Structure 1
Amino acid sequence: MTFCCPLCHAPLAHTDKSYACPQGHRYDMAKEGYVNLLPVQHKRSRDPGDSAEMMQARRAFLDAGHYQPLRDAVASKLAEILPDGTSSILDIGCGEGYYTAAFARTAEEKGAITFGLDVSKSAIRAAARRYSQVTFCVASSHRLPFEQSSMDAVIRIYAPCKGEELARVVKEGGWVITVTPGPRHLMELKGLIYSEVLLHAPHSEQLPGFVLQQEQSLAYEMSLTGKEAVALLQMTPFAWRAKPEVWETLAEQETFSCQTDFSIHCWQRID
């Protein structure tokens, strides 16, 4: 299995240093080993996705192990649902590859290769440097550069993606695993930013062409240093609403307790 061209959708042939389609569209591989499949006309900004600073903050937070229970839970689900002889899996919105590397270990045991996709070049560059066992690409999650019915499983942790694209690339009988915030996710952090803290809305997503086969809630409390709490805030959409005094308050904390609440759903592709 290989990539398809994001411009004409023809299969891309791989040489030592590039990918090319029969129409002559060519995509060179970066020295780190990833390929950029995000044409200029598909970008919404000059440098889309997380910045290098945001990526580094997230990597430090994740490397500290605060979200390891989530990573382990999703990897366990993947091991449970993937049959032996699986060929390919994809992590959408993979960031710097913290989750993707764990999924790749599971996929390898099933005989599959693992792809990681993100719109952020900074994140993919860092991921490719660290996790050579994964094939990484810069690409849009709304225009997946993969052939029809090419994936045995797709993992989507918070990342947006059109349902039609998921239905296109996942094989019949294949899977999509999604992770979304549970009702009480990061309530303490939200309490520093909003005058009224609302629960996250209950899960209501529908994926046409898929049947929801399993769902699981995962919740636990984290104890963070002030630096880790700042990194966590920087990872979230709340960062745009946080006033300077919020950042200062978090940075000064010796310990900051914050609860997690994740919803994990396993969807199976039907004909």
Structure 2
Amino acid sequence: MSFSCPLCHQPLAQVKSSFVCPQRHQFDVAKEGYVNLLPVQHKRSRDPGDSPQMMQARRAFLDAGHYQPLRDAIVDALARLPDGRAATVLDIGCGEGYYTHAFADALPEAAVFGLDVARVAVKAAAKRYPQVSFCVASSHRLPFADAGMDAVVRIYAPCKAEELARVVKPGGWVITATPGPRHLMALKGLIYDEVRLHAPYAEQLTGFTLRQDLALGYEMQLSGSEAVALLQMTPFAWRAKPEVWQQLAERETFSCQTDFSVHLWQRTP
């Protein structure tokens, strides 16, 4: 299992430090070990995805272990798939690889791929986790062959259902994680005058059957710097006033509730 060309969709073969397709489209492997499969005509901005500051904040927060229960739940779901362990796994929106490398460690015989549109995040991931094949690519144009994946993990990341149905094998799996109704309510309360619950999960994946759903929630006790990092890695950051940032930074502790919804979808045979 390897990548496919984002321009002509034919298989890419690695030749020394490049990936080349039969049409001679060539994509060089960066010194960190990832490959950029996001052609300029597919970009919506010069540097799409998270900024270096957002990536660094997310890495610091995740490395502190605050979302490890979510990671453990998804690792467990992958290991317990009813048709055996997945041989090919894709993490869409992999960021700096916090979740992806855990999938590879739990499934040492699997080919694990990480994909994100943010080059700065993929660069950091590839440098730190050489056991994963990382690429810069669009989640709406997955650079993989039809029916090549046993499992796809999608934590918050967007992706068209048609693309998921195309790359997942018949009988294969998609595992999604989304915010539950009360996710980060304490943080939202500092930013919005009226705090609303997240809308109930209502996604439908055409071509898939929902087999299992899991609600996961727990209280986090954060330091002021960790609370700032959490805010910086969320969409709420754009709405937060300067006094909110200062208030969080000065807190000795900040208690914040998590609420995750994890769903297991099986590809219709």
Equivalent residue runs for 1:184-199 within 5 Å: 184-199=182-197
Relative to structure 1, the CA distance from residue 120 to residue 82 in structure 2 (aligned partners, 3 Å threshold; closer, same or farther) is farther
The equivalent of 1:230 in structure 2 is 228
Q: In structure 2, list runs of 5 or more residues that go unmatched.
A: none
2:207, 2:78 → 1: CA distance?
A: 20
Q: SS in structure 2 opposite 1:178?
A: strand
The equivalent of 1:13 in structure 2 is 13
Q: SS in structure 2 opposite 1:176?
A: strand
Q: 1:172 and 2:174 equivalent?
A: no
The residue type paired with residue 34 of structure 1 is Y
Task: Please state how far the C-alpha of 1:87 moved relative to its aligned partner.
Answer: 2.5
Aligned pair partner of 1:114 in 112, 115, 132: 112
The answer to whether the Cα contact below 8 Å between 1:155 and 1:176 also exists between their aligned partners in 2 is yes
Q: SS in structure 2 opposite 1:127?
A: helix
2:193, 2:13 → 1: CA distance?
A: 54
Q: In structure 1, list runs of 5 or more residues that go unmatched.
A: none
Aligned pair partner of 2:137 in 111, 136, 139: 139
Task: Please state how far the C-alpha of 1:86 moved relative to its aligned partner.
Answer: 3.5
The residue type paired with residue 51 of structure 2 is S
Task: Please state how far the C-alpha of 1:52 moved relative to its aligned partner.
Answer: 1.1
Return structure 1 stretches of 4+ with deviation > 3 angstroms: 82-86
The answer to whether the Cα contact below 8 Å between 1:20 and 1:26 also exists between their aligned partners in 2 is yes
Using the size of structure 1 for normalisation, the TM-score is 0.98
| CA RMSD across the alignment | 0.9
1:193, 1:81 → 2: CA distance?
A: 40
String of CA shifts for 1:179-210, please: whole Å, max 9, x gaps: 00000000000000000000000000000000
The equivalent of 1:98 in structure 2 is 98
- Count residues in correspondence: 269
String of CA shifts for 1:153-191, please: whole Å, max 9, x gaps: 000000000000000000000000000000000000000
Using the size of structure 2 for normalisation, the TM-score is 0.98
Task: Please state how far the C-alpha of 1:85 moved relative to its aligned partner.
Answer: 6.3
Aligned pair partner of 1:246 in 238, 244, 250: 244
The equivalent of 2:76 in structure 1 is 76
- What percentage of aligned pairs have identical amino acids? 72
1:261, 1:219 → 2: CA distance?
A: 4
1:199, 1:221 → 2: CA distance?
A: 17
The answer to whether the Cα contact below 8 Å between 1:95 and 1:120 also exists between their aligned partners in 2 is yes
Equivalent residue runs for 1:257-268 within 5 Å: 257-268=255-266
1:83, 1:251 → 2: CA distance?
A: 47
Task: Please state how far the C-alpha of 1:106 moved relative to its aligned partner.
Answer: 2.2
Q: SS in structure 1 opposite 2:8?
A: coil
The answer to whether the Cα contact below 8 Å between 2:34 and 2:133 also exists between their aligned partners in 1 is yes
The equivalent of 2:157 in structure 1 is 159
The equivalent of 2:217 in structure 1 is 219
